[in-house]
Amino acid sequence: MTADATFNRSEKVRQRRTSRSQERITRAAAVTHLRPAASPAVTIRGRSMGQPILKKASTQTRRKYYVALNTAGAELSMPSIPIIRPGWRILSSLVILAMVAMLIVFSTNAAFTVKAPRITGLQRLNQADIEAILDLKGKSIITVDPPAMRTDLEKAFPELSAVAISVSLPNNVAIAVRERQPVLAWNVKDKMIWIDADGVMFNPRGDVGNLLTILADDNPPLAPVLVSAADLTQAPAVTPAAGSDPTTAVKQVEDPSKQRVDMKIISAIEILKSQMPENSSLVYTALNGLGWNDSRGWKVFFGMNLDDMQEKLTMYQTIIDLLTQKDIKPSVISVENIHAPFYRLEH
């Protein structure tokens, strides 16, 4: 083998190696361009197996609008409009602003100002009496408070047995009332008190005709108020009632508008009214109870317990017959205790 042949063969080997190296470089470059190397995943180490954190980019699609032109195949691309998604904070702010605006309108607009309430059911009371307590004229309709108004009217006028109040826009206030009807008058040292069938006391107002009048030296006895055992912890001024159920007690009423006359005395007055002679008047004393001024010139007392009224009337007539026979004119006769009646003479 000559030197030229050896050189040619070496040159061919070098060219073949160079060609293979170039092919590998080209192939590697093509693979790198098509599939870039992925970045290593980030993991969190904890009690459980590590998990890669994948964060996706959030994008919002914007709508594009196209307007067709008169030229065929031509159209105009309008600017993209972002999609608006209002949050709850924006909505709540808008609601608050709307409410504030409504309050301003209701408070300042004369169309929502109360002129005068419409009142129905009045008999002895008049509209001016009601308006003086409520003082609604010139107030905004949104400041009207029906429950508070009803409470004020019931305290100011115990003779009202029912009060209903309704409010409507723009400035209407309607009040419907029902007045109590007195059944008797209680005269204490020239001070008159009216009492209805439920024992409610109130001041005279207007004219109701002739009422049965009781001449008294003291206010009428009041009915006790029963308080349940559940309310005893909220009522420190409670004392047990004698002989009453241990689950109830008698509480002294502090609110004058809640006081009621004892229904026993109202029932007793009805009995005496049917038994007293003509031209007589009913009387009451805290010491002797109920009775009447007899037209013959004396007072007779029957006490507060009239369950045995017929026996007391028989005893009273027996005493009258005995005193008439002896020509004795008493000033007071008492059959309150049927087993120990007595009479007193004039001093």
137-178 pLDDT per residue, tens: 888 888 899 999 999 999 999 999 999 999 998 889 999 999
What's the pLDDT score for residue 295? 87
Residue 249 has a pLDDT of: 44
Name which residue leads in pLDDT, 167 or 29.
167
> Percentage of the chain surpassing pLDDT 90?
43
Answer with the residue of higher pLDDT: 121 or 259. 121
Q: Tell me if the bond preceding 220 is cis, omega within 30° of 0.
A: no
Question: What's the pLDDT score for residue 52?
Answer: 56
Phi, psi of 94 (to 5 degrees): -65, -40
* Mean pLDDT, rounded, of the chain: 80
More confident residue, 30 or 210: 210
pLDDT at position 242 is 44
Which residue did the predictor score with more confidence, 4 or 214? 214
- Terminus-to-terminus CA distance in the chain, angstroms? 183
Q: Which of 99-103, 229-233, 339-343 has the lowest mean pLDDT?
A: 229-233
> Which pLDDT does position 250 carry in this prediction?
47
Measured distance CA(242)–CA(219) in Å, rounded: 23
Name the DSSP letter for residue 172: E
Mean pLDDT of 333-343: 93
Order of strands across the sheet that contains 172-179: 118-120, 172-179, 160-168
Show the tokens assigned to 30.
């093509």
The domain defined by 182-222+260-345 folds into Rossmann fold (3.40.50)
Q: Give me the residue label for tokens 């309150």.
A: 336
- The strand pairing partners of 291, in sequence order, are 283, 301
| Residue 195 · residue 238 · CB < 8 Å | no
Same fold: 119-179 with 182-222+260-345: no
The per-residue pLDDT for range 291-315, each reduced to its tens digit, is: 999 988 999 999 988 888 889 999 9
Domain boundaries, the chain: 119-179, 182-222+260-345, 224-254
Where are the alpha helices (H) located in the chain, listed in sequence order? 3-34, 88-108, 127-134, 146-156, 263-275, 309-325
Per-residue pLDDT, 248: 43
- Residue 238's pLDDT is what? 46
Strands 172-179 and 118-120: parallel
Q: Looking at the chain, which runs of residues are DSSP E strands?
A: 66-68, 75-77, 118-120, 160-168, 172-179, 182-188, 191-196, 201-202, 212-216, 225-228, 238-239, 248-251, 281-285, 289-293, 299-303, 330-334, 342-345
pLDDT digits (tens, 9 = 90+) for 6-17: 667 777 777 887
Q: Is the pLDDT of residue 235 over 80?
A: no
Grouping H, G, I as helix, E, B as strand and the rest as coil, residue 112 is helix
Rounded CA separation 293/133 (Å): 42
What count of other Cβ atoms lies within 10 Å of the Cβ of residue 41?
A: 10
What would the pLDDT profile of 46-87 be if each residue is shown by its tens digit?
555 555 555 555 555 556 666 676 767 667 666 666 666 777
Q: Is the pLDDT of residue 233 over 80?
A: no
119-179, CATH topology level: Ubiquitin-like (UB roll) (3.10.20)
Please report the pLDDT score of residue 123 as a whole number.
93
Q: What is the pLDDT of residues 80-112, one digit of tens each?
A: 666 667 778 888 888 888 888 777 766 677 788
